[in-house]
Amino acid sequence: MDVKEPLTKPRKLLSNERFQSLNYQPSLYNSLNSAPPTSCHYCGLCGSRKCSRCRQTIYCSVECQRKDWSAHSVICKPLAIKEQNSGHSPSEVGGRTCRSPGEVNGINCSSAKVDGKTCRSPSEVEEKIKNPKLEASPVSSFLKDQEMERKITFQDLQNTGLNEGSKSQGIVVEFSSPRNFIIQLYTAKTVESLIKVTALLKEIYSKPENLKKGYTPALGEVCVAKFSQDQNWYRVLVQNIDNEGKTADVLYLDYGNTENVSLGDMQKMHKDVDLFPPTAIRCFLADAISPPCGWTPECLVDVKKLLMGKEVTFTVLRLEQVEPLLYGLDVTLPALS
150-209 pLDDT per residue, tens: 789 998 999 899 999 999 999 999 999 998 999 999 999 999 999 999 999 999 999 999
Same domain for 202 and 296? yes
Which DSSP string corresponds to 38-51? SB-TTT-SB--EE-
Q: What percent of the chain has pLDDT over 90?
A: 39
Which of 134, 149, 164 terminates a domain? The answer is 149
For residues 165 and 323, the model is more confident at 165
Same domain for 245 and 139? no
Q: Residue 322 falls within a domain, yes or no? A: yes
Q: Residue 90 falls within a domain, yes or no? A: yes
Least confident range of 16-20, 66-70, 194-198, 287-291 = 16-20
Most confident of 12-16, 29-33, 68-72: 68-72
In this structure, are residues 225 and 260 in contact, taking their beta carbons and an 8 Å threshold? no
Q: Closest by alpha carbon to 12, among 192, 279, 197?
A: 192
Q: Residue 98: is its pLDDT beyond 70?
A: no
Largest Cα separation within the chain, whole Å, is 92
Q: Residue 160 falls within a domain, yes or no? A: yes
Write phi, then psi, for 94 (nearest 5 degrees).
Answer: 60, 35
Which of 149, 177, 209 terminates a domain? The answer is 149
Q: Residue 5 falls within a domain, yes or no? A: no
pLDDT of residue 195: 93
Same domain for 178 and 327? yes
Please give the average per-residue pLDDT across 120-149, as a whole number. Answer: 47
Q: Residue 337 falls within a domain, yes or no? A: no
For residues 328 and 123, the model is more confident at 328
Same domain for 201 and 108? no
The burial of 74, by beta-carbon neighbours within 10 Å (0-12 exposed, 13-18 middle, 19 or more buried), is given as: middle
How many domains does one find in the chain? 2
Same domain for 186 and 82? no
Which strand (E) or helix (H) includes residue 169? strand 167-177
Judged by phi (left if over 0) then psi (alpha if -120 to 50, else beta), residue 126 lies in: alpha
Please give the average per-residue pLDDT across 36-64, as a whole number. Answer: 77
Look at the pTM and tell me if it is higher than 0.75: no
Residue 111 sits in which domain range?
26-149
**49 band by pLDDT with thresholds 50, 70 and 90:** confident
Same domain for 87 and 169? no
Please give the average per-residue pLDDT across 296-325, as a whole number. Answer: 89
Which strand (E) or helix (H) includes residue 170? strand 167-177
Q: Residue 105: is its pLDDT beyond 50?
A: no
Scored b (16 or more CB within 10 A) or e, 14-34 reads eeeeeeeeeeeeeeebeeeee
Rounded CA gap, 53 and 83, in Å? 10
Rounded CA gap, 229 and 16, in Å? 34
Same domain for 228 and 241? yes
Q: Residue 20 falls within a domain, yes or no? A: no
Which of 149, 177, 202 terminates a domain? The answer is 149
Same domain for 200 and 82? no
Q: Closest by alpha carbon to 64, among 137, 163, 158?
A: 137
Please give the average per-residue pLDDT across 253-276, as a whole number. Answer: 93
Same domain for 158 and 304? yes
**For 59-139, where are the alpha helices, taking DSSP H only?**
62-85, 122-130
Which residues are 282's β-sheet partners? 182, 326
Cα–Cα separations (whole angstroms), residue 330 to 136, 195, 307, 326, 327: 57, 28, 14, 13, 10
For residues 174 and 34, the model is more confident at 174
Rounded CA gap, 58 and 44, in Å? 10
Mean residue pLDDT of the chain comes to 74
In this structure, are residues 143 and 46 in contact, taking their beta carbons and an 8 Å threshold? no
Residue count (the chain)? 337
Same domain for 313 and 258? yes
